Chain A
Amino acid sequence: MGLALEQSGIPTVAIHTHVFARLARSVAQANGMPTARQTFVPQPVVGRAPEELRAYIEGKDPISGLPFAQELIEGLSKPLDDQDLSGLSFERTTERLLPADSEDRLQQLFIDNQWTDYQPIVLPTEARVDAMLAGTSHARNDIVGRLRPTVYRELWEFDVEKVAVNAVMSGARPEYFPVILAMAASGVSGRSSSTTSQATVAIVNGPIRDQIGMNYGVGALGPYNHANATIGRAYGLLSQNLQGGSVPHESYMGSQGNFLSYNAVIVENEAASPWEPLHVQHGHAADTSTVGLLLGGWYTIFGGGPRDTWREKFTRSLQACDPYTGPVIALDPIVARGFTELGFDTKQKLLDWCVEHARLPAREYWDNQWIQTLHRPRAVAGIEPYATMLAAKPEELIRMFRPEDIHIVVVGGGTGAMWQMIGGGPRLTLCSIDDWR
Chain B
Amino acid sequence: MTSSVAVHDPRGFPPKVIGKRLAPRLESLDGKVIYLVDCLFDNSDVFMEQLRLWFAEHIPLAETRPVKPKGSWQDDPEMRATIEANGDAAILGVGL
| Residues of chain A having any CB pair with chain B under 8 Å | 1-17, 20, 23-24, 27, 29-33, 35-37, 41, 45-48, 50, 53-54, 56-58, 69, 72-73, 76-80, 84-92, 94-104, 106, 110, 115, 123-126, 129, 147, 150-152, 154-159, 161-162, 165-166, 169, 237, 241-244, 369, 372-374, 376-378, 381
- Inter-chain contact B29/A73, CB cutoff 8 Å: yes
- Inter-chain contact B20/A31, CB cutoff 8 Å: yes
- Inter-chain contact A31/B4, CB cutoff 8 Å: no
- Inter-chain contact B92/A13, CB cutoff 8 Å: yes
- Inter-chain contact B92/A125, CB cutoff 8 Å: no
Q: Is the interface of B mostly helix, strand, loop or mixed?
A: loop
Q: How far is the CB of A353 from chain B (nearest CB, A)?
A: 31
7 additional contacts (CB under 8 A) given A87-B21, A90-B16, A125-B6:
A9-B23, A32-B18, A35-B22, A58-B54, A73-B29, A76-B34, A77-B25
List 15 A–B pairs whose Cβ atoms lie within 8 Å, in order of A's numbering: A2-B92, A11-B90, A12-B90, A35-B22, A69-B54, A76-B26, A77-B29, A115-B11, A152-B96, A162-B13, A165-B10, A244-B12, A373-B40, A373-B72, A377-B71
| Residues of chain B having any CB pair with chain A under 8 Å | 2-29, 34, 37, 40-44, 46-47, 49-51, 53-54, 58-59, 68-76, 80, 83-84, 87-96
Cross-interface CB contact of A101 among B5, B22, B25, B26, cutoff 8 Å: B5
Complex CA gap A96/B6 in Å reads: 10
- Inter-chain contact A33/B22, CB cutoff 8 Å: yes
With contact pairs A32-B17, A77-B29, A95-B9 given, residues A15 and B46 touching in the complex (Cβ less than 8 Å): no
Q: CB-CB < 8 A to B51: which residues of A?
A: 57
Complex CA gap A1/B71 in Å reads: 12
With contact pairs A88-B17, A123-B7, A374-B72 given, residues A24 and B84 touching in the complex (Cβ less than 8 Å): no
With contact pairs A46-B42, A106-B7 given, residues A77 and B28 touching in the complex (Cβ less than 8 Å): yes
Closest 5 CB pairs of A and B: A87-B19, A15-B93, A242-B12, A89-B19, A158-B12
